[in-house]
Amino acid sequence: MNQRALRLTGSTRVLPGFGLSMGISVLFISLVLLLPITGLFGQLADLSLAQYWAIITEGRVVASYMVTIGAAAVAALINAVFGLLLAWVLVRYEFPGKRLLDALMDLPFALPTAVAGITLATLYAGNGWMGKLLEPLGFQVAYTWVGIALAMAFTSIPFVVRTVQPVLEDLPAEVDEAAMSLGATDAVAFRRVIMPHLWPALVTGTGLAFVRSLGEFGAIIFIAGNMPYETEITALMIFVKLQEYDYAGASAIASVVLFVSLALLLAINIWQGRFVRRLHGGKG
């Protein structure tokens, strides 16, 4: 009787608190995520379509897209390679100081990005430790787009390591052993057995790193040099517009970054979902 009464009132969920926790979640997302975005679009309402288009296709701004996307792509690719390597080392081998290295991976998240930017700029400037070594070789890092990529790589490396690491931990060493016992060379085992498992995580991590780099400001601004048309990043363009009290212009440029980031994240999610379904036998 009791059970039936329960079912009639519709409380058949075993896990309690759905209404409350979902409500708080939605409220939180609205306040922290949706409200600012709405504000952004609100600003855009002041612009006509022609004005909007003029702002986002202005020569200096377009140049900043190129610099930002180019440097972010290079940084993401570098992070894909080295992040994978770091995750591999952290998961597969035992060595003294492993815990420390593991903790160090999160440093870019913990460090204020401006601090990182100033440190990098000091290191790689012509009179810095690294700059002194590199500049005589004709290799200028600070105040070029190489420096921008370097700063981006620094702030976004944890994304790759932290997404690949758990997947790699989940892949038993037995699988490599099985591949080798079947005659596969190390390279073939890596390419045909290990990589297919890591692809989704690696692409997700690299994608996150790329998107993070698109929006990075603090770490880059000190090392970039900020030469118009050459080493100006999009985030700086937004900042410049804000300083001119051109809020609508700043929002217009920001919306471009937002759309590119969202589209990329969505694409990665869809692609990954498809892959994961196959691993779990088509059951989702």
> Distances from the Cα of 2 to the Cαs of 5, 7, 11, 14, 145, in angstroms?
5, 9, 12, 15, 70
Q: Assess 193 for contact with another protein (CB under 8 A).
A: yes
How many residues bind another protein (CB under 8 A)? The answer is 23
Q: Assess 4 for contact with another protein (CB under 8 A).
A: no
Nearer to another protein, 117 or 200 (CB): 200
CB of 40 to another protein, least distance (A): 41
Q: Which of 2, 48, 181, 243 binds another protein (CB under 8 A)?
A: 181
DSSP H stretches of helix in 93-138: 98-104, 107-110, 113-124, 129-134
Q: Assess 281 for contact with another protein (CB under 8 A).
A: yes
CB of 98 to another protein, least distance (A): 17
State how far the Cα of 170 lies from the Cα of 88, in Å rounded to an integer. Answer: 12
Burial 96-132 (b: 16+ CB within 10 A, else e): eeeeeeeeebeebeeeebeebbbbbbbbbbeebebbe
Q: Assess 162 for contact with another protein (CB under 8 A).
A: no
Smallest Cα–Cα separation from 231: which of 114, 57, 60?
Answer: 60
Q: Assess 174 for contact with another protein (CB under 8 A).
A: yes
> Distances from the Cα of 114 to the Cαs of 109, 110, 141, in angstroms?
12, 12, 18
Nearer to another protein, 199 or 247 (CB): 199
Q: Assess 107 for contact with another protein (CB under 8 A).
A: no
Q: Assess 138 for contact with another protein (CB under 8 A).
A: no
Q: How many CB atoms lie within 10 A of CB 8?
A: 9
Within 240-279, the residues that bind another protein by CB under 8 A are 278-279
State how far the Cα of 253 lies from the Cα of 255, in Å rounded to an integer. Answer: 5
Determine the residue type at 233: I
Residue 14: DSSP 8-state: S
Q: Assess 44 for contact with another protein (CB under 8 A).
A: no
Q: Which of 175, 227, 263, 266 binds another protein (CB under 8 A)?
A: 175
Helices (H) and strands (E) in the chain, counts: 16, 0
CB of 188 to another protein, least distance (A): 5
User: Helix 113-124 crosses helix 145-170 at what angle (to 10 degrees)?
Assistant: 120
Q: Assess 60 for contact with another protein (CB under 8 A).
A: no
Nearer to another protein, 69 or 184 (CB): 184
Q: Assess 92 for contact with another protein (CB under 8 A).
A: no
Q: Assess 178 for contact with another protein (CB under 8 A).
A: yes
Phi, psi of 246 (to 5 degrees): -95, 75
Nearer to another protein, 69 or 194 (CB): 194
Q: Assess 98 for contact with another protein (CB under 8 A).
A: no
Q: Assess 280 for contact with another protein (CB under 8 A).
A: yes
Instruction: List interacting residues with another protein (CB under 8 A).
Output: 172, 174-175, 177-185, 188, 192-193, 196-197, 278-283
